[in-house]
Amino acid sequence: MKFLKRNKNIIITLVIFFILILFCIQIKNILFPNDGLAVYGNRLDGKIEVSKNLNKNIKEILPEGATKVTVRDAGRILNITITVADDITRDVAKTYAVKSLEALSDEEIRYYDIQYFLVKNAEAAEFPVIGYKIPSAENISWTKDR
């Protein structure tokens, strides 16, 4: 009992401190209720994984005019960046994007929205060209030509 009487102020301070911590945790849970959930929510349930060799497969399909291919998966969107040689025209670069669809499975084409970014290493007035294909569309929609 002597211990409790001598340390009464410290014990009261610690109890109040722990109560304040619990109170702050409850306030945080009220203000941010979905803090532990995934960024995309449940929209990615049943997601189809892209093959790990997709970069390499697209690069092998495309002619020599495509110098670099980068594929990035962002949720339900595939961002495919194709860097073309400086002597390639915009229309030829667009055919590279159409040809790259052959590297994707039918299941991937039906699941993903696909964005194409066609770029050159050098500055060019008609580049970059951006295209977009939704799963229900047959063709790629291109940005307005400049």
Residue range 66-100, pLDDT digits in tens: 788 888 888 888 898 888 888 888 888 888 888 88
Contact predicate 128/117, CB 8 Å: yes
Q: What is the mean pLDDT of residues 49-72?
A: 81
Structure tokens at 126: 């008609």
Nearest CA-CA partner of 112 in 51, 61, 29, 25: 51
Q: What is the pLDDT of residue 41?
A: 66
Computed over every residue of the chain, the mean pLDDT equals 83
Which helix (H) or strand (E) segment is 129 a member of? Answer: strand 129-133
Looking at per-residue pLDDT, the higher value among 101 and 24 belongs to 24
Q: What is the pLDDT of residue 121?
A: 79
